[in-house]
């Protein structure tokens, strides 16, 4: 086994939560997440894999039920097609990963994942984690991530979504962790209170209405961009780049979203190396 050290690399992280009220829609969105992520967002990496570039090692995990072992195998076109077909069966996890030893491409490592919450919970998480490589161009790639999320979620009616740089946990949001909020409770209440807020935040339709609608959100001027999702919800881009998402930008976003955020005073976790990327104020006070 080859170990690729990405510990010092910058990373981008995205996650989306889908509830089970429309199984066919969840399956379509999950398949689009994997296909468009592989062929589009990470097209440079996938082409290197297709060309059998010795620098790019690709693997695939398909775990159908909670009783099955989680085992990685070498990715092939045939295995990939079979994995995409399994999405309709609501598998526990389908994940594709690539590591590049030389890190010369735009991405040094990627992981695309569709995973069902365990213990027979029908909720689904869509996750991407990518370590940035030497050829990464911020002027191009940040827009591509936002475009990707917008396109995949257009028909999804998502319960929550986010894109972060250098932080991210597929089990919890930064706000969940700072409020000591149980991740399963947070997930199930996604349409009652917003799970968190980030450089890019996807707000479900129910909470958009409580904020006065997409027009009111846009006219508030708290974010750089508001994208309406056709099947419900909005995508909020706080700033043009994650580097511009500073304390002031986060404060503007927090104050606008405060009416739909869970109450509570954020606190640091004992032993946590850095502060959470949240505003350390109780949303209920705004």
Give the pLDDT confidence of 16-40 residue by residue, as tens digits.
999 988 999 999 999 999 999 999 9
Q: Of the candidates 140, 156, 172, which is a domain's last residue?
A: 156
Dihedral sign, CA of 271, 255, 129, 4? negative
Indicate whether 200 and 151 sit together in one domain.
no
- Provide the percentage of residues in the chain whose pLDDT is more than 90: 84
Lowest pLDDT segment from 52-56, 81-85, 273-277: 273-277
Average pLDDT of the chain, as a whole number = 93
Q: Are residues 141 and 21 in the same domain?
A: yes
141-171: b (≥16 Cβ within 10 Å) or e: bbeebbebbbebbbebbbbbbbbbbebbebe
pLDDT band at 270 (very low <50, low <70, confident <90, very high): confident
Looking at residue 273, what is its pLDDT? 62
Determine the structural domain holding residue 246 and report its residue range: 163-286
**What is the maximum span of the chain, computed from C-alpha positions, in angstroms?**
56
In a domain, 2, yes or no: no
Q: Which residue has the tokens 């503007």?
A: 252
pLDDT in tens, 217-236: 999 999 999 999 999 999 99
Are 107 and 131 in the same domain?
yes
Tell me how many domains the chain contains.
2
Q: Look at residues 103, 127, 156 and tell me which one is the last residue of a structural domain.
A: 156
Residue 269's pLDDT is 77
Q: State if pTM tops 0.75.
A: yes
Specify whether 35 is located in the same domain as 119: yes
The residue among 133, 158, 139, 141 whose CA lies nearest residue 32 is: 158
Determine the pLDDT at residue 261. Answer: 99
Q: pLDDT per residue over 81-125, tens digit each? A: 999 999 999 899 999 999 998 899 999 999 999 998 766 678 999
Q: What is the pLDDT of residue 272?
A: 65
- Residue 105 confidence (pLDDT): 96
Cβ within 8 Å of residue 131, ≥6 positions away: 6, 9, 10, 11, 103, 107, 108, 109, 110
Average pLDDT over residues 128-139: 97
With both helix axes pointing from N to C terminus, report the angle between 23-36 and 77-86 in degrees, rounded to the nearest 10: 160
pLDDT given for residue 274 in this prediction = 67
Residue 180 has pLDDT above 90, yes or no: yes
Q: Could you tell me if 145 and 20 lie in one domain? A: yes
pLDDT score, position 6: 46
Of 123, 156, 189, which one is at a domain's C-terminal end?
156
Domain assignment present for residue 4? The answer is no
Work out the percent of the chain whose per-residue pLDDT is above 70: 95
pLDDT (mean) for 56-74: 92
- Name the residue with higher pLDDT: 239 or 91: 239
| 218 and 114 assigned to the same domain | no
């Amino acid at each position: 086994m080859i170990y690729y050290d990405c510990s010092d690399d910058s990373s981008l992280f995205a996650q989306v939560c889908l509830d089970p009220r429309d199984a066919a829609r969840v399956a379509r969105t999950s398949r689009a997440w994997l296909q468009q992520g592989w062929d589009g967002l990470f097209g440079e990496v996938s082409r290197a894999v297709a060309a059998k570039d010795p620098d790019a090692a690709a693997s695939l995990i398909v775990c159908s039920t909670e009783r099955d072992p989680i085992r990685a195998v070498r990715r092939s076109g045939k295995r990939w097609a079979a994995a995409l077909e399994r999405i309709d069966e609501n598998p526990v996890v389908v994940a594709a990963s690539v590591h590049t030893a030389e890190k010369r491409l735009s991405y040094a490592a990627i992981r695309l994942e569709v995973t069902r919450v365990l213990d027979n919970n029908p909720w689904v998480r869509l996750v991407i984690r990518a370590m940035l490589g030497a050829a990464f161009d911020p002027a191009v790639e940040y827009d591509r991530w936002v475009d990707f999320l917008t396109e995949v979620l257009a028909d999804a009616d998502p319960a929550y979504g986010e894109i972060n740089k250098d932080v991210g946990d597929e089990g919890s949001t930064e706000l969940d962790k700072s409020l000591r909020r149980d991740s399963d409770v947070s997930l199930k209440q996604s349409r009652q209170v917003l799970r968190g807020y980030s450089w890019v935040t996807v707000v479900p339709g129910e909470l958009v209405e409580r904020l006065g609608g997409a027009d009111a959100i846009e006219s508030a001027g708290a974010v750089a961009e508001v994208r309406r999702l056709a099947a419900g919800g909005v995508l909020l881009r706080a700033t043009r780049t994650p580097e511009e998402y500073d304390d002031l930008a986060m404060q503007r976003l927090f104050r606008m979203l405060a009416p739909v955020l869970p109450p509570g005073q954020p606190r640091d976790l004992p032993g946590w190396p850095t502060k959470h990327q949240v505003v350390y104020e109780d949303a209920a006070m705004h």
